[in-house]
Amino acid sequence: MANAPKIAFSPVTPGKAAGTLVVFCDDRLQFGPPAARALGDAVAVVTRAAKTEHFTGKSGSALEILVPDGLKADRLVVLGAGKAADLKQQDLVKLGGAAMGKLPKAGDAVIVADLPGGEGGMTGAQAADLAQGAMLRAYAFDRYKTRRKPDEAPAGNRTVTIVTADVAGARKAFAEREAIAEGVLMARDLVNEPPNILYPEEFARRTLALKKAGCAVQILNMAALKKLGMGALLGVGQGSTRESRVVVMRWNGGKKGEAPLAFIGKGVCFDTGGISIKPAAGMEDMKGDMAGAACVVGLMQALAARKAKVNAVGVIGLVENMPDGNAQRPGDIVKSMSGQTIEIINTDAEGRLVLGDVLWYTKEKFKPKFMVNLATLTGAIIVALGHEYAGLFSNNDELSERLAKSGEATGEAVWRMPLSPAYDKMIDSRFADMKNTGGSRYGGAITAAQFLQRFVDKTPWAHLDIAGTGMDSRQNEINKSWASGWGVRLLDRLVADYYEG
């Protein structure tokens, strides 16, 4: 990936160790043998500097020393890891990201994969976790900047060497982790793109890149969507000069004929709100209203690139919601692919119309084991959960529990929200089978989920409302981008832990 540094693995610290050297210590200021060997006599320098700077090795803390005595490196960074015995996989990924964050924006670096408590340093898999964190943290979306500062060389022009005793194991483990990271970065790129560049037809064209990894890709044009009867999806896009699209991506890595896992994404490439137009302030962020679709593309890339032993299908609905003379109006009634009719109350409640048709299409065509959809669907979920958790709505307890555990393992956390017939009544319409909003500012995320549930029948299904996590997301050790690529690691982990043969 252009935004990622070159990752190398070495059994020993390179002799010259030019650039920056990064080592880890625990909360007792102890180093493992490989880190101690890399530091040599400079351990005494670290000890003195730690007293001066009141550095204790607490998790997340850092001690930086320029041109340290006894080292050939230009700079030494000591990162505190806290209690080394308590670190989990996600903690190691974060440590790798934190290490990358302490590096200058240009120049090579060496990271010693080591913590106290072992003789040989970290395992190959743990070293690969550090490398994945560094790769995710290095991402920057700056392709439209025509000027760079002297120290802002492209990330791809630098090498980060991870020192580990198990080079072969690290390379093998990193091949899979790199595939997942590339899926995340692909999703970030899509969400960060400006809407004049990434409109539905262009988004669909970019999915063809998945063919290189082995995915089959099918793009459904306007004629195909009309023939299928996707009146709800087409109604959203009818006010735009940009044509709508649906993209179907298939990865067949499992048993022949086995029902696939299905992932569905909302892809509103720009959302003005339509006739029910949004306020001007902050509308530029609505280029990210396709983060759900971006996640599905990134996930399919990851599954294919790491040759996941599973059959999976990704389906995304791509539209642009604009307010011209042909746009749908509040009061219109549209017919969905399912045959159910929908009264449009608010044209800014458009994502559920797109998803309704795509969910029904996926259910009917592929008969999947389950369906998980992702969508930046409601501001109401941000009111409820902030930017820390995605909202999870589901008709299946097992799927919900597996998503929750996958979220805990990756740090992409979900929180289950209720579904109930009492909320369902709020979207019943006097004139059609349903309304596209509940007509109240209360429970908005729930009534949106109730709407989607009408298009899944008895198929195990989960809806992830990622309005708070997919764009304008919280900055952390492994993401400094406006677009987080949220959901790729979560769903890849779900597949890996529970569904691969």
Which parts of the chain have pLDDT scores under 70?
1-3, 14-18, 118-120, 150-156
> How much is the pLDDT for 15?
55
Q: Does residue 22 contact residue 77 with C-beta atoms inside 8 Å?
A: yes
Q: Among all residues, which ones are annotated catalytic?
A: 278, 352
> How much is the pLDDT for 14?
63
State the pairing for strand pair 75-80/20-25.
parallel
Q: Does residue 188 contact residue 139 with C-beta atoms inside 8 Å?
A: yes
Q: Does residue 464 contact residue 487 with C-beta atoms inside 8 Å?
A: yes
> How much is the pLDDT for 193?
98
Between vectors from CA 427 to CA 424 and to CA 429, what angle results, nearest 5°? 130
> How much is the pLDDT for 156?
59
> Buried b / exposed e across 458-479, counting CB within 10 Å, b at 16+?
ebbbbbbbbbbbbbbbeeebbb
Cα 204 to chain centroid, rounded? 19
DSSP 3-state of 51: helix
DSSP 3-state of 341: strand
> How much is the pLDDT for 115?
86
> How much is the pLDDT for 157?
72
Convert the pLDDT of each residue in 19-34 to its tens digit: 899 999 999 999 998 8
> How much is the pLDDT for 119?
61
User: What is the Cα–Cα distance from 156 to 145, expressed in whole angstroms?
Assistant: 16
User: What is the Cα–Cα distance from 473 to 3, expressed in whole angstroms?
Assistant: 19
